[in-house]
Structure formats: structure tokens, C-alpha cells
Amino acid sequence: MIKCPICEEAVTELTINSHIDSEHSDNPARTKSTPRPATDNVASIFLPLSARRGGSFIARNDVVPPTTSAPTPAALQPAKSPKPPSSWRKRSHDEATSGVANEDPTSPTQAQAKRVKLSALQKFAPLAERMRPRTLDEVYGQKLVGPAGAIRGLVEVNKVPSMILWGDPGTGKTTIARLIANKVGSRYIEINSTSSGVGDVKKIIEEARKELLLTGRKTIIFCDEIHRFNKTQQDVFLAPVEAGEITLIGATTENPSFKINNALQSRCPTYKLDSLTISDITAILQRAIATENCDSPLLDTEMLTYIASFGNGDARTALNQLERAIDLCSRPDITATNIRASLTQTFLYDRSGDKHYDAISALHKSIRGSDPDASLYYLVRMLESGEDPLYIARRLMVVASEDVGLADNSMLSLATATHAACERIGMPECRINLAHCTVALALAPKSTRAYRALHNALGALMEPGVAALPIPLHLRNAPTGMMRGMGYGDGYKYNPDYVDGKVAQEYFPAKLKGRVFLEDVDLGSKVDEDLLVLGEDERVAMAGAMAGVGGS
């Protein structure tokens, strides 16, 4: 205990500063005869929060009447906290942080606050997210969920099986899964294979099993981009799907035949979603315009069709473009021409997915069909989408032998030189070399004799015992005396020693003697029935074109 230098009252060392500040600065009338609460001798850090705030004790600016009698024990006790008014109630954490009092959930104030929060979320969500269909009837372009669709029928009877939804981006895979879960009232969990691991999936499956046992409610697990799980990781779904503990809806943009393991495919039927047509996407854009209350005359049906054409079957891409167009319409000097110029085309192309193989297949078949215009279209489409020019050049070397073949042997040299040019020059100039080779291959005469002969030989090799037939002795090499003594090379006729190199000599094993793999004709003998219905003028024009191709 020490004495206060002002009033000479004994106080503890811990409270001397607060004693001087509170008792003498604010209340100089305080004297030694003034009684003090007992809590003055307690350090503030040991006091209750209410005591430190002054709610339960005498305020420091209150003057206590003087008394001559000694303080009674009751007077030494801290004053009781006044009972808070009935209007005071403890606030929740949300109320404390938001500054809004805890009110009746049905009161207009709280309901209004909820509406404001929801509208804020909607405000910042992209247009494509805000325009997600709310019912299956609002899904455009997918017959599977239409009134007579296969999936719609299963949903109506509450018998939703596990399934794989296969379709291009923006065709509605995620939306359909959400609407199915909402329709049947199942518990719904959405995961993405790019951000979730097998451990996460196991925890979700265990929770779904407990939910099914406790409440009888089934869980629908929607796995987006399921093809990004490798085939071993996909096994985590097998047992719960087979036991009926969960309903799995997997979404993929890749061909399930290559990306989904066979065991999971056998338990989950695959449904192919159609790419949306321009009319489907235009209808989606019109609904978005109506929902957003956009009345700009620039966004007429012609402009919406123009925007829909950039979607390439992807409604999300088109809606993103529309959102940009709506923002542009807010400018006073904007015109339809300005909007068209501002909307850049998006190339939907995956260098490792189905579109990659579909595009190169289309290029190959267009060259085979001697159509240089279509060939150039697919060439440019691939290059502008970021395809590796060396990949295209390698494929052109294949075309040179497979389709042109013996009809013009120089095409293989041209294709090989094109590949070398692409290596040395690079993009964008090597586009010229690729266009040169592509057009030359398309216009060249075609012969598949060598290609067909290769497959004929491969077919013979698949026959029982043919692959193990012994090589005739006269065709075998005899580098040592022992081999010559065994008859290797005996009777072989060296062709350059004979006139024109012609000799009577058998090169096949005895079992294959007389087999012919290389046919005499360059192309097949089938007649396309569609050519028979063409008019005379069209037949003459086509005959002239084919004659030009054959003579080039």
C-alpha cells in the first residue's frame, strides 16, 4: 500500500494511477472522509467486464455524500448492477457486427434486409448465372428433359438413376443436375474434380450414407468435369453407386468412351446433350433481355441472332457477349456497327479434346474429297484457334501417302518439305506453306492402292498360323558357312543379272502362294446414289471438276 500524494489515502500500487485520474481530476471535491468502494483496491484487469465499463459501479463523476459513521460491511460490497430495461436484449453475433438489432423474423425491417442481401448477390452475379433456368420447362434445346424426354420421365416418377451427362460447354449440364435434385427433393452436393480430391469424395459419401440411414433421404452428388479424375480415382464412386447409397450425376465435355472407366459406365448410363442451335440461343437471349428490362432498340432480333452465332452452341458464351452489349448500349453515342465491332469472336477449341480430333478429321476428309475450299476452312479454323502447325503438317504427310499415294508420289515430298518449312519459319508465315500443301493435296489425283494393300496384308497376318510361316530358304541371308551348309540362299536368282530383272521366282511362303494384296484400281467401284439425282447441269459441272482434279 502507498499513500496518494494528493489526498494521502492509502491505495495499492496497481490502482494509484487510476485513483489519481478518476478521483482528483474529475472530482476535486473528494476528501479523505469520502468512503470508497471496495473494488478500488482491485486491479482493473481482475474486474468483470461490466465493472470495468462502470455499469455496476458508481460512475466516476458521481459525488458520494459524506458520512461520519464508519462504513458498514454492506457498504464495502460493490453495488449491484441495475436490472436492464425490458427493451434490452442480448444481440447475436450477426447483429453486433451489422449494427442491426435482433428483430422479429417476420418484421418488415428484417425481411427488407434479406431482400437487399439477395439482390446484391444477384447484382454482382454474371448474366449467364442469373439466367439459369428455374424449371425443366425453361431448359432450351435439350429433348432429354423435354415433356417426352427420357430424363424428364424418370424425374416425374422420382426414379433418378446415376448418370453421365456428356455435352459441350454451355449446354446445361450443371443446370439440369440442379433442377433434377430440386424436383425430386433430394439432398444435393456439387463438387468439381479440379478442386476436390478422393479424400473429399469419401467424406461426402460417408455423410450421404449417414443421411440415408437417419432420415431416409438420398443424396445426389453432382461431379463436374468428372473426366479429370483418372480412371483409378473414379473407382471411389463404384461401391456407393452400386449399393444405391448415392445418386451420381457426372458431367463431362469429353467422350466418356475414352475418359470414364468401363465399370462406372456400366453403372451410369450416358446421356448426350445436344449443342444448342442459333435459334435456341436466340430464344435464351430474348428471355434475358426481357428479364433485365433492357429496351434498347439496338438489341433487336437481328442483333441477338448475330450475338447467338458467336456462341458456337454455348449459351454461356452468348450471354456473356450479350452482357457486354447491354453495357455498351448505355453509351449515348453507340451504334449497332460499334457493338458488332466490339464483340470479338470466341473460338471454342480444345487442343487435347474432341474438338481437336473432330477438326483434324474434317480437314483430312475434305482433302480426300478433293474440296480445296472446305480444306482451307478447317485449316484456318484450327490455326486461328491456336493449333500447333507442326501437328497439321504431320497429318498432311499422312494424307500424302494414304489418299494421294501412287497417283502422285511427289506429294509426299511436298508434305515433308512443308513440315520442315513450318519448323524453320513458324507462325504466322508458315500458314502460307500449310495452305500451299493443303490445296495441292486436295487438287491432286487420289489413289489408295498402297493404303488398301497395307490393310490387306495386315488382314492376312491375322489369319491363324500366317504370322509364323517359315521364310523360304532361298530368301534367307547366308553370311556364314554354317548357314550356307544348311541351304540358306540356295537357288536365289539375283534379279539385276537378268534381262529387265524378270525371273521366275516365288517370294511368298508356300501357304500364301498366289495371294494378291495390291489391287489394280486406284479407287473403289461403288457408285454414290446421291449423284444419280443431280440435274444434268450439275453432273456436267461435277464431271468437269473431277476431270480437272484427275488431270492436275
pLDDT digits (tens, 9 = 90+) for 500-538: 888 888 888 888 888 888 888 777 778 778 777 766 566
Whether the pLDDT of residue 446 is over 90: the answer is yes
| CA 177, 178, 182, 185 torsion-angle sign | positive
- What are the residues facing 190 on neighbouring strands? 222
Residue 98: which pLDDT band, with cuts at 50, 70 and 90? very low
Q: For the chain, what percent of residues have pLDDT higher than 70?
A: 75
Whether the pLDDT of residue 336 is over 80: the answer is yes
What is the tens place of the pLDDT at every residue in 219-232? 999 998 898 888 88
Cα-based distances in Å from 80 to 50, 63, 275? 11, 18, 75
Report whether 103 contacts 110 (CB < 8 A): yes
Residue 497: which pLDDT band, with cuts at 50, 70 and 90? confident
Which pTM value belongs to this model?
0.52
Residue 307: which pLDDT band, with cuts at 50, 70 and 90? confident
Domain ranges of the chain: 2-66, 142-272, 278-342, 354-448
**What pLDDT does 32 receive?**
45
Name the residue with higher pLDDT: 101 or 402.
402
**What pLDDT does 475 receive?**
83
Please state the rounded mean pLDDT for residues 261-287.
88
Measured distance CA(322)–CA(318) in Å, rounded: 6
Residue 363: which pLDDT band, with cuts at 50, 70 and 90? very high
Q: For the chain, what percent of residues have pLDDT higher than 90?
A: 18
Alpha helices in 296-409 (DSSP H): 301-309, 315-329, 336-342, 354-368, 372-384, 389-399
Residue 23: which pLDDT band, with cuts at 50, 70 and 90? low
Helix axes 354-368, 372-384, angle to 10 degrees: 160
Closest CA to 307 of 334, 286, 330, 331: 286
- What are the residues facing 272 on neighbouring strands? 166
Query: Residue 419 in 3-state DSSP?
Result: helix
Longest distance between any two alpha carbons in the chain, whole Å? 150
Which positions ≥6 away from 488 have C-beta within 8 Å? 473, 476, 477, 478
Q: Which long-range contacts (CB under 8 A, 24 or more apart) does 358-362 make?
A: 359/385, 359/387, 360/391, 360/392, 360/395
Measured distance CA(415)–CA(421) in Å, rounded: 10
Residue 542: which pLDDT band, with cuts at 50, 70 and 90? low
Whether the pLDDT of residue 188 is over 60: the answer is yes
- CATH class, 142-272 region: alpha beta
Whether the pLDDT of residue 63 is over 80: the answer is no
> Which 8-state DSSP code applies to residue 81?
P
| Lowest model confidence (mean pLDDT) among 83-97, 373-387, 416-430 | 83-97
**What pLDDT does 494 receive?**
87
Name the residue with higher pLDDT: 79 or 502.
502
Report whether 61 contacts 26 (CB < 8 A): yes
Which range scores top for mean pLDDT: 420-424, 534-538, 544-548? 420-424
- 142-179 as b/e, with b when 16 or more CB fall inside 10 Å? bebbeeebebbeebeeeebebbbbbbbebbbbbbbbbb
Please state the rounded mean pLDDT for residues 181-210.
87
Which positions ≥6 away from 539 have C-beta within 8 Å? 531
Residue 499: which pLDDT band, with cuts at 50, 70 and 90? confident
Q: Which numeric CATH code is attached to 354-448?
A: 1.20.272.10
Name the residue with higher pLDDT: 164 or 343.
164
CA dihedral of 129, 134, 139, 144, whole degrees rounded to 10:
120
**What pLDDT does 433 receive?**
95
**What pLDDT does 371 receive?**
93
**What pLDDT does 543 receive?**
58
Whether the pLDDT of residue 375 is over 90: the answer is yes
| Strand residues in 465-529 grouped as ranges (E) | none
Cell of 293: 428490362
Name the residue with higher pLDDT: 103 or 404.
404
Mean pLDDT for the chain overall: 77
